[in-house]
Amino acid sequence: MKKDSWSLALKITARLTGWVAFPVIIGVFLGKWLDKKFNTEPWLFLITIGVCFLISMYGLITNALKEFKKIEQEYKDNVEQREEKKQKIIQ
C-alpha cells in the first residue's frame, strides 16, 4: 500500500511540475525568437511569458482539482468500508 501511495504522489508531483516548467520554458524560447524576428524586444517576450503563465495556472488548477476529487472519493469509499466492517462486527 505504501509503495502505491508513493508512486501515486510522485506521478501527481511530476504532472503538476510539468505544468509549471514546460509552458514557461517554451514561452522563454518562443518569446525571445519572436522578439528577434520582429525587433520588438522585450514586449513579445513578456506577452508570451504572461500567456504561458496563464496556461500553466489553468493546467495546474484543473489537474489539482481532478486529484482532489479522486482523493475525496477514495476517502469516502474508505469510510464506507469501515462502516460496513463495523456493522458486520456488531451483528
pLDDT, tens digit, 9 for 90 and up, residues 24-66: 999 999 999 999 999 999 999 999 999 999 999 999 999 999 9
Q: Give 74 or 45, the one with higher predicted confidence.
A: 45
* Whether pTM exceeds 0.85: no
Whether 53 is covered by a domain: the verdict is yes
**Number of domains the chain is built from:** 1
Whether 41 is covered by a domain: the verdict is yes
Q: Measuring CA to CA, how many Å separate 50 from each of 17, 18, 60?
A: 18, 17, 15
Whether 89 is covered by a domain: the verdict is no
- Contact yes or no for 63/23 (Cβ under 8 A): no
Write out the residue range of the structural domain in which residue 35 sits: 2-84
Q: 91 in helix, strand or coil?
A: coil
Whether 90 is covered by a domain: the verdict is no
